[in-house]
Structure 1
Amino acid sequence: MEYKDYYKTLGVDRSASADDIKKAFRKLAMKYHPDRNKGNKEAEEKFKDVNEAYEVLSDPQKRARYDQLGASYSDWQARGGNTGNFNWNDWATAGRGAQVDMGDLNDLFGGGFSDFFSTIFGGMPVGGRRQTTRTSPRQSYQQKVAITLDEAYRGTTRMFQVENRRIEVKIPAGAKTGTKVRVAGGGPGGNSDLYLVVELLPDPRFSIDGQDLSTEVKIDLFTAVLGGSVNVATLSGNVTLTIPAGTQPGQMIRLAGKGLPDVRHPDQYGNLYVRIKVELPKNLTAKQRELFEKIRNN
């Protein structure tokens, strides 16, 4: 079994903060997301590796255990060790407390968790703490699931294989980072619940603030001065935005109802704010310069 360098997978230092790790995960998850790489097996494997690394490094308990292992492994390598004789048994979770069948969990969470993960973290709950109550022995498990902005706008589904069951989980429109979707009886054995915790991936077209979105469009000087129209991309398709005469650089124009839906009230939408960027002409002809001089002098 080979040691997996989760920090290298995410491209962060070992001293990286939780925010640094989250930013790196979001960037890579967006890059390798299956919806953006249809039929690309290499991207699919990269996506699994990124999710596995984030599963460990985003959890303080798992990260601490992984860092301890890393220090021991590095010290062992420095003494001339090789991957064939490192004593993984010292780090295996088998037989330590309440255990989880990692075979079931690998199926449950889309497959792809490595032997390394199963050996080192097989006895730890996936995606956060295992939750129990005094009144009920029922357990629940959390698992992060990354979705795109388009999926958040329309809603989406994820398929999971749990033992001999296939479960289709609906993620509602309006879900955003932190939204939890409960699947009653969705955990291993059917006697535990699964909570999917949504991670909304960044989108290069829009900034996200709750249900509101913002974007930027470029117009030329003449449109800014005289008025006109410009096409603006929204999550529901392109729309024509009217530009009033005298529009200023940086001015924000609101498109009502063109943001994200409210997850609790899916018929209510946020707004899209369009920031205007005025592009000034750079290379004027002599005739154009003459006309601008006339306007300035008048």
Structure 2
Amino acid sequence: MAKRDYYDVLGVSRSANADEIKKAYRKMAIKYHPDKNPGDKQAEENFKEAAEAYEVLSNAEKKQRFDQYGHAANAGSAAGGGYGGGNMNMDDIFSQFGDIFGGGGGSPFDSFFGGGQQSRGGGRRVSRGSNLRIKVKLTLEEIAKGTEKKVKVNKQVVCNNCDGSGAKDKSSFHTCHTCGGSGAVRRVTNTILGQMQTTSTCPTCNGEGTEITGKCTVCHGEGLTRGEETITINIPAGVSEGMQLSMSGKGNAAPRGGVPGDLIILIEELPHEKLKREGNNIIYDLHISFIDAAIGSSVEVPTIDGKAKIKIEPGTQGGKILRLKAKGVPEVNSYHRGDQLIYVNIWTPKVLSKDERDLLEKLQNSPNFKPQPGKNEKSFFDKMREYFE
């Protein structure tokens, strides 16, 4: 089933500002929240869909790519995650977007539904690892066909000694004395309108609900160490310079069972020796002698699929553009493919032997060797206009 437009999901226009997008997501999240719709699978899917839409439209960089490419920008589906929203579970959504509801402990919907559920962490904050960015260099052939790359990434990984807990042993954990294990502190303030309750993350345990009295000797209580991981990246065909792919959960690890960050892959195109890319089209400059142009010839030209033989018609003029259909670069996540355009250039020798010069001088006064713009030669602008028409 095709994904809906993210603007349609949230019910906002494409010109909506950040506040309007945030307000629309808040409204949708309350409407379809699982606590309000127990056992309703469709409501749960709508809830996840709204979170995915908000994840993209609330991020200026992701929003720009979506506005430009639509769901085609989600090329990372072949690379293991795309925007990241498609793989989100409930814990991801609550931990990532809870702040827009003013919460800090428990479910971000505490103020609407009477408190968080223990199944989602008992009110404790879920930590999230930071994202990593790497560059991947691709040849034109790899871009045209898609490719698989294995890269070694140096990053934060879970400490093997303490399994990411940061504690020396199990006896080192104690319930936080400030929040009593809830991970949040609530304050009641008397105002002219009555009592107002506010909730914030516990400053003592940072929302984890526990304190560590004895730290791990390897990670010194961080729960993380430096490590190296070999990651396989599937690059879809048709990516371009500067495009970013995302692999969900392949960034830095988070301590104490938190959610790993994402791996952001920046695409860099390597220049080709003979071919040039313009959008989805491939450009090749072909140089032929005026003899081949005059009497016709058959020549081989390079393409991203190998070599191809093309026919030069007799009387071909310099500046003529020949086209090889569907020999260009495919669009991302599409069956459409660009063309290869061959620009014909007439090569003139700089050095001639005496016999060659004598022969050309005999032909110099022939009427067929005199330029006749009105008959057999069109201006460069006429050729360009014909091509685009």
Give the structure with the larger helix fraction: 1
Greater relative contact order: 1 or 2 (C-alpha under 8 angstroms, separation 6 or more)? 2
Higher Cα radius of gyration: 2
What's the TM-score, normalizing by structure 1?
Answer: 0.50
